[in-house]
Amino acid sequence: MAYEKWIDIAKGIGIFLVIVGHSHCPPFLQTIIYSFHMPLFFFLSGYTFHYDKYKLNKSAFVTNKFYRLVVPYFFTNFLILLILSLKDSLTMNPLKMPIPVTRSLIGIAYGNGAPLNPPSIFANMVDVPTWFLLCLFCAYLLFYLVAAFHEKYGLTLSYIVVFLTAYVGFAISKFIYLPWGIDIAFISMTFMFTAYIMNHYGAINTKSKVIPEYFSWFLLLFISILLNGRVDMNLRNYSNLFLFVIGGLSGTFIMIGLAKELSRYTNVFTEMSEYLGKKSLVILCYHLFTPIFILNSIPFIHVREMVSNSLFLSTLNILVFSIFTVVLFKKIPFFRRVHSM
């Protein structure tokens, strides 16, 4: 597939919304963002998926996704755990570990970003946002099977399987959170398959300014939020599954329409969005740890409180130090390889 600039711009908008959602974000804005920001990333992953490329080489597909997603996940969590442990051991004013090291290691292996349901010895990982990496890895493996099924049995049966799979994931999450977010991966099939089909049939025309029925997507998003309330894929809070999918797709189409419109121009905002999109994996991995670690090291409590309690300043803090991390890692060959930069 030829390079489509709007894809990186959409990723950039998405990762910026992740940053805003993790800053001092008012509840109403967080509700809007959480309704579609993770579905957007699953959708884009499905859109850029090419079954034909790995059809005859499954092992190459698994290896590729393992190095791009699983390796950065474990590296990031072990690195942050090491830094926190060293700070806890070497300083007189340690940054207290929220979870003992042993439980943190178990949590990293289990790979859930949310406190487990039901509660058990399995704690969540150290770097919570990285739950998405393991979940996306599982989603890719599952989607490979879905794409193969689609090639053999066609669109209608495939959608039936996808919706049944999503419902199974939804039902499972009511009782237990599966390792590596497998239950979330089941639900993500609705977004990935829709994107895959839209790309397969050329439903997203890159020459158009915006996606047709743009106003309709706003209306559907508004209705889904109004009826379904706050959702969170990581916490398995979907409320009504149908409304969750509708809201996720509606918000995604709005962001894609915006990204496509922005791709027609060359300006600072467009270039920054594209840059953030290309570096979204590193930003996802470190956007909470680096800024907060540095902020907590500032000796002036009033400065910390001022930044932490401001949407603008907390977002700016995370954004600036996330970009700093990207620039730093690009200069270190080992870090560059680990994060596929």
Which band of pLDDT confidence, cut at 50, 70 and 90, is reported for residue 21?
very high
Query: HEC string of 133-196?
Result: HHHHHHHHHHHHHHHHHHHHHCHHHHHHHHHHHHHHHHHHHCCCCCHHHHHHHHHHHHHHHHHH
Tens digits of residue pLDDT in 285-311: 999 887 677 776 666 777 777 887 889
The pLDDT score that the predictor gives to residue 121 is 52
Decide if pLDDT at 78 tops 60.
yes
Q: Of 100, 96, 70, which Cα lies nearest the Cα of 84?
A: 96
Decide if pLDDT at 98 tops 60.
no
Q: Strands, E, within 46-105: which ranges?
A: none
The pTM for the full model equals 0.92
Q: Give CA–CA dist 254/259, Å, rounded.
A: 9
Decide if pLDDT at 271 tops 90.
yes
| Arithmetic mean of pLDDT over the chain | 88
Decide if pLDDT at 192 tops 60.
yes
Between 296 and 97, residue with greater pLDDT: 296
Phi/psi-derived region of residue 236, left when phi > 0, alpha when psi is between -120 and 50, beta in every other case: left
Alpha-carbon distances, residue 256 vs 21, 239, 249, 251, 253 (angstroms): 19, 25, 10, 9, 5
Tens digits of residue pLDDT in 53-77: 888 889 999 999 999 999 999 999 9
State the DSSP code for 232.
B
Between 215 and 46, residue with greater pLDDT: 46
The pLDDT score that the predictor gives to residue 200 is 86
Residue 120 corresponds to which amino acid?
S
The pLDDT score that the predictor gives to residue 222 is 96
Residue tagged 């409320």 (tokens): 239
